[in-house]
Amino acid sequence: MPTGAEVIREVKNRIDEVDPGAVRSDLESGNGNAPVLIDVRESDEFEAGHIPGARHVARGFLESRIEGAAPDRAQRVVLYCASGNRSALAADTLERQMGYENVESMTGGITLWKDRGYDVEVPRALTAEQRSRYSRHLLLPEVGIEGQLKLLDAKVLLLGAGGLGSPTALYLAAAGVGTLGIVDDDTVDVSNLQRQVIHTTDRVGEPKVDSAETSIHAINPEVEVLKYDTRLDASNIMEIIDGYDVVVDGADNFPIRYLLNDATVRLRIPVVSASILGFDGQLAIFAPYDGPCYRCLYPSPPPAELAPSCGANGVLGVLPGTMGLLQATEVIKLIVGSGDPLIGRLLLYDALAASFTELKVRRDPDCPICSRDPESISEDEMGVFPDYEAFCAAAG
């Protein structure tokens, strides 16, 4: 019987081999002769570094997965491994058993490629702990490793760790959003606990940002929590929101909603906005210049006596949970880039009727804010309304 070395030598004699230099110039030339390049090594070898543009089909899965990477048997396929042996055996399999007509094995493998000083791409990888933690995301083609890495890189700002912010923060933390900023200057009160599930009875009296951080880290210690124990206002908004990818608006009053709208339009940051009252919830994404802004929907706020949000109102404890999780869902979709985001649409939820209604929201060509160039929106006019402070104060 022949030795292993003799088998490999014999296979190499009957297959076609190609030099790394030729592969590189064919890949770069764009002359139509570029092959499908396939790395047949094991997963850990591939993840440690591979030739840019290479697909990965480990030799052990060659027969079952090659058609995913190279469906056309007539197309040119170049295989490589570490030094050129495994790829030679794989090329033999493709040619003799599977009928591929134009297969080559790259001589010297990636070792020779690197020795020549050619480029190697080192993909970012998840740790073993992350692979396990996020495994249910990784199994979804719409998220997968790329989507999970986007989540880990994302910075999301939550306005308020209250009714809406609580469930949103918990689920975004669980989903692996890398940085969560929380703006809230309130402390935990026992009357919050009917709906603000990020807080606990033993933390009554603590600042909400601290209590929220404790719960977030209990779920996912790798989330970075940036705490802003303050009220968002015209003096600090630009500094706080700058650099965030998405803002989640759960603000409980109109001055902040308008201020936030104007600042996010200027900085082109999408806002996933929800509001709740009693048994009714509303949800929409305001994506500057891709869709309408909040002022396109409501050009001005209601006067104090008709602004139910200024005072204390009843709310079904579950409702901010429902609406907050719909917000969290839209945040994740925006970050991952999957699905049809709720831009230009307003979703109404009526908990008593158990019904959803969708309304269209159009960009207003005469919008006082988003019909203009973002740089032209001055700090002086942000969030400004006639008499607003006065009437909110009147409403208590």
Longest CA span, the chain: 97
Give residue 362's identity as a one-letter amino acid code.
R
HEC sequence for 137-167: HHCCCCCHHHHHHHHHHCEEEEECCCCCHHH
Stretch that binds another protein, among 13-21, 221-229, 261-269, 351-359 (CB under 8 A): 351-359
Q: How far is the CB of 232 from another protein (least distance, A)?
A: 12
**CA–CA gap between residue 131 and residue 145 (Å, rounded):** 9
Q: Which of 21, 298, 318, 379 binds another protein (CB under 8 A)?
A: 298
**Nearest CB to another protein, comparing residues 70 and 304:** 304
Q: Which of 33, 43, 230, 313 binds another protein (CB under 8 A)?
A: 313
Q: Considering the rule CB under 8 A, would residue 267 count as an interface residue with another protein?
A: no
Q: Considering the rule CB under 8 A, would residue 274 count as an interface residue with another protein?
A: yes
**CA–CA gap between residue 366 and residue 131 (Å, rounded):** 49
**Nearest CB to another protein, comparing residues 289 and 298:** 298
**CA–CA gap between residue 355 and residue 349 (Å, rounded):** 6
Q: How far is the CB of 278 from another protein (least distance, A)?
A: 4
Q: Which of 80, 113, 254, 286 binds another protein (CB under 8 A)?
A: 254
Q: Considering the rule CB under 8 A, would residue 165 count as an interface residue with another protein?
A: yes
CB-based contact 98:66 (threshold 8 Å):
yes
Q: Which of 22, 125, 219, 348 binds another protein (CB under 8 A)?
A: 348
Report which of 328, 26, 388, 32 is spatially closest to residue 197, judged by C-alpha positions: 328
**Nearest CB to another protein, comparing residues 150 and 295:** 295
C-alpha distance from residue 218 to each of 9, 211, 213, 376 (Å): 57, 11, 8, 44
**CA–CA gap between residue 346 and residue 337 (Å, rounded):** 20
Instruction: Identify residues 227-246 at the interface with another protein (CB under 8 A).
Output: none
Question: Which positions touch another protein (CB under 8 A)?
Answer: 159-160, 162-165, 192, 196, 249-254, 257, 274-280, 282, 297-302, 306-309, 313, 315, 320, 346, 348, 350, 352-353, 357-362, 364
